[in-house]
Structure 1
Amino acid sequence: MLKTISFLILIFSFAMNLNAQDLSKHQWEDRLVLIIAEEENETFQQQLTELQKHQQGLKERKLVIYQILPEKYTTGFEEENWKTSSELFQKYKAEKSGFRIILIGLDGGEKLDQTEVLSVEKLFNTIDSMPMRQAEMRKNR
């Protein structure tokens, strides 16, 4: 009986890891910016353009960009290497908007969530006010 329960727990844990396979690998390594849209629209493109202008600042803050559309996603700004999956879109899509952007911290928690274009200034100020980022900045002086 104990072996059966242990086996079921192992299978359940494995299944949970599959659901979180794409984002959990970043925990304690990277901060994430998830850009979720119903389609590649003007707001989606404005957000990408806003972030692309500040790639050094993104790198300094250990930010990984996820572009998430209904049937596919990719990381970074490249238009290649899209992966087919609707899992991330289903999990993070906006309820009442065709656009959503989420900041996920090193600990895996959501730190910022909005349905309009996020300015780099607000993004960086939010991150720079976090205790872990403050420690990173002190360490790098």
Structure 2
Amino acid sequence: MGRWIPWRIAMVAATVLGMAGAASGEPLEGLRWQKRLLLVFTQGDTERERRQRDALPDEGLRERDMLLIRVPQDGEVSVPGVGAVPSADIRSAYGVADAASFTVILVGKDGGIKRRSSEPIAARDLFGTVDAMPMRRQETRGN
């Protein structure tokens, strides 16, 4: 029984800290460990945004548990598994200035930024980055 109490306290602390992280500026926290995110920040429907969207086959995104999220300059983003999130909150959390006309950020399942670009990323390069991640290699081995 002596071991049960510290374990239980650790579990409660982890839960509370996780909830605090979601409430303290991490608007996409609910997707951590669930999805890899490809955040495409835009100021409207631009040529670079269209090139980025068209470069990525849906099958390749699905295979890698990736969710493509378009983040406009203003308004809200409907994020599957999270709900409506203000664009300003996502921009702030990932350090994308309102004036940035186009930015692509790849976020790993751990919540860390894995790649950032001001130009569209080719599918080969993007999927290569993801496929080199230790967690992705583990997934492809079936572990």
**TM-score normalised to the size of structure 1?**
0.73
1:73 aligns with 2:77: yes
Q: Which runs of 5+ in 2 are unaligned?
A: 1-17
2:140 to 128, 137, 141: 137
Specify the code of the residue in structure 1 equivalent to 2:135: M
2:130 to 120, 127, 133: 127
Q: Which residue of 2 aligns with 1:9?
A: none
1:78-108 alpha-carbon deviations (Å, 9 max, x no partner): xxx9865422134432587411000000111
Q: Which residue of 1 aligns with 2:43?
A: 38
Q: Which residue of 1 aligns with 2:12?
A: none
Give, in angstroms, the shift of residue 129 of structure 1. Answer: 0.7
Q: Counterparts of 1:1-141 in structure 2 under 5 Å?
A: 16-20=21-25, 22-51=27-56, 54-71=57-74, 72-75=76-79, 85-92=87-94, 93-94=96-97, 97-139=100-142
Name the Cα RMSD after superposition. Answer: 2.9
Specify the code of the residue in structure 2 equivalent to 1:33: L
SS at structure 2 position matched to 1:35: strand
SS at structure 2 position matched to 1:139: coil
- Does the 8 Å CA contact 2:22/2:30 hold for their aligned counterparts? no
| Higher mean displacement: 123-132 or 38-47 | 38-47
Q: Would the alpha carbon gap of residues 95 and 68 (structure 1) be closer, same or farther in structure 2, given more than 3 Å must change? A: closer
| Higher mean displacement: 113-122 or 17-26 | 17-26
Identity of aligned residues (%): 30
- Does the 8 Å CA contact 2:91/2:98 hold for their aligned counterparts? no
Specify the code of the residue in structure 2 equivalent to 1:88: I
Q: Which runs of 5+ in 1 are unaligned?
A: 1-12
- Does the 8 Å CA contact 1:65/1:75 hold for their aligned counterparts? no
